[in-house]
């Protein structure tokens, strides 16, 4: 059981570079989401998707893009990295939306210099 798989585990970017954080789940969950975790801030929702072809913004969407072409995959794109995007990023999925328990991936630790 792979669950939710995130790659890479660690990444260092220079300001202005772009990259994509990958997220895949094999549980056939309709709902997928991206969170960032910063010290003292808890988990904040970046973007989410309730199914293939449908995405929406969360609390802190600026600087990030997402797409959901398949049920399994939900990549997060940083278009032009900024030091303020240094954080730990978690992808999470659930079978029925935000009201049901979330399954988290192992996270990606991103540093932007």
The residues that touch other proteins, with contacts defined as CB under 8 A, are: 35, 40-45, 90, 92, 97-107
Query: Which C-beta is closer to other proteins: that of 66 or that of 91?
Result: 91
Query: Which C-beta is closer to other proteins: that of 15 or that of 100?
Result: 100
Q: How far is the CB of 42 from other proteins (least distance, A)?
A: 4
Q: How many CB atoms lie within 10 A of CB 18?
A: 11
Go through 81-111 and write b for each residue having 16 or more CB atoms within 10 A of its CB, e for each that does not. Answer: beeebbbebbbbbbeeeeeeebbebebbebe
Query: Which C-beta is closer to other proteins: that of 35 or that of 64?
Result: 35
Q: How far is the CB of 81 from other proteins (least distance, A)?
A: 22
């Amino acid at each position: 059981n792979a669950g939710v798989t995130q790659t890479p585990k660690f990444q260092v970017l220079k300001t202005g570079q772009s990259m994509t954080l990958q997220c895949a789940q094999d549980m056939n969950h309709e709902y997928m989401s991206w969170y960032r975790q910063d010290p003292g801030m808890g988990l904040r929702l970046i973007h989410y998707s309730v199914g293939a072809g449908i995405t929406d913004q969360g609390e802190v969407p600026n600087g990030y893009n997402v797409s959901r072409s398949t049920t399994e995959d939900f990549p997060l794109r940083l278009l032009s990295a900024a030091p303020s995007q240094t954080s730990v990023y978690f992808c999470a999925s659930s079978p029925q939306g935000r009201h049901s328990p979330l399954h988290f991936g192992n996270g990606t630790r991103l540093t932007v210099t």
